[in-house]
């Protein structure tokens, strides 16, 4: 048989592995060697057309700790090699560490990770020389037609012959650690007693290394050899209980952690209470001295109410939208531009200057900068982490989701209450939620449907962009109320299955 030519858009339709935020995600069973090889080939062809790669050029490859990651990394490396480029194996490391390596060397990278989702799924995240691929790049990659060499794959889409595993260099991890050890003053966390919830996060060791290197007394907690799907937007009850228990037993100043690929942070205060990512994001942005902050429409409105920032820009949910808006703000003259998401992932568009030192831009989700900024901000003010939160306006968010909810169905249900006819939509919403929330004051269709009621409470419904889940975000003036209205909204959504 001759070589096969496949259009990426067609492969997406037939494989079940589609593009989400900055790359591809799907069931491990669908992410065959053939699919991963083809998608990476499409990425390299796109780079070639942009003039970002040429024969012999290097591409960094890394991954998280999922069982399927090594196989997919090998498939990625084969695609890189067959395209005439050189795969640089950087081993298992955080997504921001791999992106940072690429930015420092002005090279593209490929990260194999499914982030926070269960390990029956995985993904591939693509980064160009200047940062993440954006929506225009995704569209261009879908149009690529790639060549699948004859005999390379068997009938199941797996390599017909065994391929070599990539080298496991630690260059990227070391460079990432130095980014923060060289910026923050030596001993800036001296006297701080910190717990690090390690679970199966790929950054669990470098997190301990950096915190210890800055003077903190660190206790490693909860190491797991099995993958644990820690979602920073929907924290598992067992992780809530564990943090409370560790704090009570050990007297920590804070407990820190990340999701699976260590681009989304978790930080708990001295009582073991996990902070919401969009609250921690405000604290980080404030400590960095940002004048322009970009954040998705789902995030806590305390960012505007705080008065800390000259400009706040709201976007659709997803780092590509945040990055594009950060770039626009920078071009518009903003001096210090940052962004954050509800999951806590923090992005830096412009260099940060402090202590006569410069922290280079890292316009991709990062966990470590947020954790360090919050800890140092608390030290600077001489207050516990809970004291930082208490200084912000009293607005509270809560989020949850229905799992195994088909995306098409969630979109259809949203369309029933977001038709564009605002009088009709308000009546439909009040029929569903009016008894609990009252009259509708406003409807925002930026991403999903965000409903503000007359009492200033908010319900935001949105299909997940990377899993068959239906997410619900709520906001109110007390934490208990934000949780309560979320439970009521989820109860209504359950009837839509």
Please give the positions annotated as active site.
115
**Could you tell me if 482 and 300 are in contact, meaning their C-beta atoms sit under 8 angstroms apart?**
no
Q: What is the residue whose two structure tokens read 């995240």?
A: 125
**Residues 420-451 as b or e (16 or more Cβ within 10 Å = b):** eeeeebbebbbebbeeebeebeebeebbbbbb
Q: Which residues pair with 7 in a beta bridge?
A: 145
**Residue 63 to residue 406: CA distance in whole angstroms:** 28
Look at residue 312 and give its three-state secondary structure: strand
Q: What angle do CA 74, 27, 31 make, to 5 degrees?
A: 30
Question: Of all helices (H) and strands (E), which one includes residue 439?
Answer: none
Give the tokens for residue 167: 């080298």
Residue whose C-alpha is closest to residue 347's, from 231, 444, 263 = 263
**Could you tell me if 344 and 370 are in contact, meaning their C-beta atoms sit under 8 angstroms apart?**
yes
Give the tokens for residue 149: 């060499």
Q: Which residues pair with 294 in a beta bridge?
A: 313, 339
**Could you tell me if 197 and 257 are in contact, meaning their C-beta atoms sit under 8 angstroms apart?**
yes
Report CA 253 to chain centroid distance, whole Å: 25
- DSSP label at 252? -
Distances (CA, A) of 331 to 127, 187, 308, 398: 21, 36, 21, 34
- Write phi, then psi, for 111 (nearest 5 degrees): -110, 125
Q: What is the residue whose two structure tokens read 């940002």?
A: 290
DSSP letters along 247-281, please?
Answer: HHHH--SEEEEE-TTS-SEEEE-TTSPBPPHHHHH
Distances (CA, A) of 18 to 155, 184, 473: 21, 40, 25
Look at residue 153 and give its three-state secondary structure: strand
**Could you tell me if 25 and 112 are in contact, meaning their C-beta atoms sit under 8 angstroms apart?**
no
Positive or negative, the CA dihedral 44, 98, 174, 64 is negative
**Residue 134 to residue 389: CA distance in whole angstroms:** 33
Q: What angle do CA 483, 321, 172 make, to 5 degrees?
A: 95
* Beta strand ranges found along 113-230 (DSSP E): 121-128, 131-132, 145-148, 193-199, 217-223
């Amino acid at each position: 048989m001759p070589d096969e030519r496949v259009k990426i858009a067609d492969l997406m339709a037939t494989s079940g592995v589609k593009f989400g935020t900055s790359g591809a995600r799907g069931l491990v069973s669908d992410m065959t060697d053939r699919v991963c090889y083809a998608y990476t080939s499409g990425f390299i062809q796109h780079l070639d057309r942009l003039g970002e790669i040429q024969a012999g050029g290097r591409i960094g490859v890394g991954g998280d700790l999922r069982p399927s990651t090594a196989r997919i990394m090998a498939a990625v490396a084969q695609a890189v090699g067959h395209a005439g480029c050189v795969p640089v194996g950087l081993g298992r490391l955080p997504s921001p560490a791999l992106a940072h390596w690429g930015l420092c060397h002005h090279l593209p990278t490929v990260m194999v990770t499914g982030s926070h989702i269960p390990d029956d799924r995985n993904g591939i995240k693509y980064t160009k020389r200047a940062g993440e691929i954006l929506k225009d790049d995704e569209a261009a990659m879908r149009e690529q037609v790639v060549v699948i060499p004859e005999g390379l794959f068997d009938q199941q889409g797996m390599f017909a012959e065994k391929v070599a595993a990539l080298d496991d260099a630690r260059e990227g991890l070391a460079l990432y650690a130095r980014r923060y050890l060289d910026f923050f003053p030596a001993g800036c966390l001296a006297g701080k007693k910190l717990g690090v919830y390690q679970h199966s996060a790929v950054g669990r060791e470098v997190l301990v290394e950096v915190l210890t290197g800055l003077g903190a007394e660190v206790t490693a907690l909860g190491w797991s050899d099995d993958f644990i799907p820690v979602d920073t937007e929907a924290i598992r009850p067992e992780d809530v209980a564990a943090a409370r228990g560790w704090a009570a037993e050990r007297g920590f100043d804070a407990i820190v952690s990340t999701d699976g690929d260590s681009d989304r942070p978790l930080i708990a205060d001295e009582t073991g209470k996990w902070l919401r990512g969009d609250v921690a994001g405000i604290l980080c942005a404030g400590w960095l001295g940002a004048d322009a902050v970009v954040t998705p429409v789902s995030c806590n409105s305390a960012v505007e109410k705080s008065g800390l920032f000259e400009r706040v820009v709201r976007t659709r949910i997803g780092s590509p939208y945040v990055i594009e808006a950060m770039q626009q703000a920078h071009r518009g003259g903003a001096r210090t531009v940052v962004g954050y998401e509800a999951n806590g992932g923090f992005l830096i568009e412009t260099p940060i200057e402090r202590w006569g030192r410069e922290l280079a831009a890292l316009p991709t989700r990062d966990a470590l900068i947020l954790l360090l900024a919050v800890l140092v901000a608390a030290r600077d003010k001489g207050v516990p982490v809970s004291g930082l939160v208490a200084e912000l306006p009293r607005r509270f968010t809560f989020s949850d989701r229905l799992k195994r909810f088909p995306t098409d169905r969630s979109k259809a249900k949203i369309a029933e209450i977001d038709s564009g006819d605002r009088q009709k939509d308000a009546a439909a919403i009040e029929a569903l939620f009016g008894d609990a929330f009252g009259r509708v004051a406003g409807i925002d269709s930026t991403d999903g449907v965000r409903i503000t009621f007359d009492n200033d409470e908010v319900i935001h419904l949105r299909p997940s962009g990377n899993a068959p889940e239906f997410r619900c975000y709520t906001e109110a003036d007390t934490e208990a109320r934000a949780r309560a209205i979320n439970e009521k909204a989820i109860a209504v959504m359950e009837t839509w299955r």
